[in-house]
Amino acid sequence: MTEEDSVRAALAANPFPPNPWVKLGDDGIVINAGYSETLHRMLRWVPKVKWVPEKRHWWVPLSGAELIRSVLPEISRLAEATHEEFGAPARETLPAETGEPPSRTLSRPIFDPSASERDLFRNAARFLFGTDWQRDTARALGRDEATLACWLVGEKVVEDDPRVLLNEMLALMRRRAAAIGAAADQLAEAIERKKL
Which of 170, 169, 146 lies closest to 159 in space, CA to CA? Answer: 146
Q: Helix crossing, 145-152 with 117-129: angle to 10°?
A: 130
Q: Alpha-carbon dihedral of residues 104, 107, 113, 119, nearest 10 degrees?
A: 10
Report the domain count for the chain: 2
At 120-159, the pLDDT tens digits run 888 888 888 876 677 888 889 998 888 887 777 777 666 6
Q: Does 113 share its domain with 45?
A: no
Q: Do both 105 and 164 map to the same domain? A: yes
Say whether both 129 and 189 belong to one domain: yes
pLDDT at position 110: 64
Task: State how far the alpha carbon of 14 is from the alpha carbons of 7, 10, 17, in Å.
Answer: 10, 6, 9
- Between 47 and 93, the more confident residue is 47
In a domain, 88, yes or no: no
Q: How far is CA 28 from CA 12, 53, 54, 78, in A?
A: 14, 17, 17, 20
Do 131 and 185 lie in one domain? The reply is yes
Q: Residue 107 and residue 111: Cα distance in Å, rounded?
A: 12
Residue 124 contacts residue 136 (beta carbons within 8 Å):
no
In a domain, 132, yes or no: yes
Taking the complete model, does pTM exceed 0.75, yes or no? Answer: no
Residue 81 belongs to a domain: no
75: in domain: no
pLDDT band at 57 (very low <50, low <70, confident <90, very high): confident
SS3 for 188?
A: helix
Residues 109 and 173 occupy one common structural domain: yes
Chain-centroid distance, C-alpha 192: 41
Question: Same domain for 104 and 184?
Answer: yes
**127 closest CA partner among 174, 162, 90, 89:** 174
pLDDT by residue (tens digit) across 79-131? 877 664 434 443 334 444 444 444 444 444 567 778 788 888 888 888 888 76
Question: Range of 101's domain?
Answer: 95-194
| Same domain for 27 and 111 | no
- pLDDT of amino acid 145: 82
Q: What is the mean pLDDT of residues 24-33?
A: 87
Q: Please report whether residue 186 resides in a domain.
A: yes
Residue 121 lies in a domain: yes
